[in-house]
Chains A and B, each alone.
Chain A
């Protein structure tokens, strides 16, 4: 591996993906996958806007067909200091996409000396999805959500995507994955524009819990083994994960209230 130096017309600029293509790391499109059950899938992610920024939450289950393949998979990641990305869909390509996305943002920041704008980051992810579209048509679809804190406007912003690379900005909350329907209903009923961090965490926990009860591919909080969703807040101080201890305490209260409700 030698130092990659290019002539001006060949130079890939601040794009890491462009650089990968130049040095011959080109990915290939797989053949049609007949048995989709052998591929690991990740499931439910929600992102909620609250007063100081955004909150992202994802369950921990990964499934291969009807089997649970991982109990502790993490599907919410920091994209850079002030933004995060959550993934659902085929786990392999999704994790690779996150890794490349993180690298792309960091690479740009280092080469240019300043970070991309939040919208620029969302567009980059959109382009990566577009690049993955042929693979998505063969059964390896990835559907991420992207959220971040924008310093210029002092608020959180949320973006939803589809497998074609379509990018849709939402105002209050977004969700993706097999349990997203149930999760977003919970969020929709409880969310208001003035919701604070503490309440947003409770909403996210409850949304994932409800989703896990209706969707077999979404994992609920596991008090027995101490496995809780990955929840992270992104505000003026940047991306920060909420500790498992805090989530355990909150989950116990939610479980208690459900048991007092007594219905199913």
Chain B
């Protein structure tokens, strides 16, 4: 009988983390930030069908980068969880914090117990009654969860884009300003994105019960101009 080769836990975790990070950094970046009316979700994404941003519940949105099949499965699980919770209790009982914790559990579970970690990085966004209640949860491949009320950058070149946003971003900006700041940060100084290369969605307090809407086509062109 051959003995399995010994690998130290530190090395094992490091290898897994490197593997996940490599997978995530291959993809394009996505940004979520708060603005005066809610939360803006913005990503570089030329596809009109394989989406990064999605609606989870009335006031909750989702954004994922990395391996599409993996974060999409988690997005759907989030919708299922939220709809089930809203059905068995009340629509008001569904909140993003609980969902973010559930995601963290799953990601942590995969990271330590499965053959390979999930190559995903995600944002769960929730808007409240006023700007101070808006929240962004940032989830890493290993189950780390962080929350903020300003902005989060995920995906490839996240560090660089984060620095760019840091310079120009202001709390409580209008939608138009926020879109300009985020798209400029995503594209960098030497390039400009057209509306076809972007996926933009908002969770807005002005949208009624279901806060999530996509901004596309002419509407997006106007805001980018």
On A, residues with C-beta under 8 Å from B are 1-5, 16, 19-20, 23, 25, 99-100, 103, 106-107, 110-111, 113
Contact = CB atoms under 8 A, between A and B. Distances in A.
Given A1-B84, A1-B85, A110 B102 contact: no
Contacts of B136: none
Interface stretch (B48-56, B155-163, B183-191): B48-56
Contacts of A99: 87
Nearest to B103: A3
B79 interface: yes
Question: Which of A25, A110, A111: most chain B Cβ within 10 A?
Answer: A110
B102 A19 contact: no
A2 B102 contact: yes
B75 to A, nearest CB: 9
A111 B102 contact: no
A113 B56 CA distance: 11
Please name the 10 residue pairs, one residue from A and one from B, whose CB atoms are nearest each other, closest first: A3-B102, A4-B80, A110-B79, A5-B77, A3-B77, A110-B55, A107-B83, A3-B81, A111-B76, A19-B80
A19 B51 contact: no
Nearest to B55: A110
Contact of A5 (B83, B86, B87, B106): B106
A3 B79 contact: no
Contacts of A16: 83, 87
B79 A107 contact: yes
Contacts of A20: 84, 87
Nearest to B50: A113
A3 B105 contact: yes
A101 B105 CA distance: 31
Given A1-B88, A23-B84, A103-B87, 13 more contacts: A1-B84, A3-B78, A3-B80, A3-B103, A3-B105, A5-B73, A19-B83, A20-B84, A99-B87, A100-B87, A103-B83, A110-B54, A111-B79
Given A1-B85, A16-B83, A113 B54 contact: yes
Interface in B68-103: 73, 76-81, 83-88, 102-103
B81 A1 contact: yes
Interface residues of B, number: 23
Main secondary structure of the interface of A (DSSP, over half): helix
Nearest to B106: A3
21 contacts: A1-B81, A1-B84, A2-B102, A2-B105, A3-B80, A3-B81, A3-B103, A3-B106, A4-B77, A5-B73, A5-B77, A5-B106, A19-B80, A20-B84, A20-B87, A103-B83, A103-B87, A106-B83, A111-B76, A111-B79, A113-B54
B117 to A, nearest CB: 15
B51 A113 contact: yes
A19 B84 contact: yes
Contacts of B77: 3-5
A199 B106 CA distance: 57
A16 B84 CA distance: 8
A81 to B, nearest CB: 9
Contacts of A100: 87
A167 B182 CA distance: 49
Contacts of B86: 103
Interface in B6-33: none
Nearest to A104: B83
A125 B85 CA distance: 22
A111 B83 CA distance: 11
A14 to B, nearest CB: 8
Contacts of B103: 3
Contacts of A4: 77, 80-81, 84
A4 B73 CA distance: 10
A23 B54 CA distance: 24
B190 to A, nearest CB: 33
Contacts of B56: 110
Contacts of B105: 2-3
Nearest to B57: A110
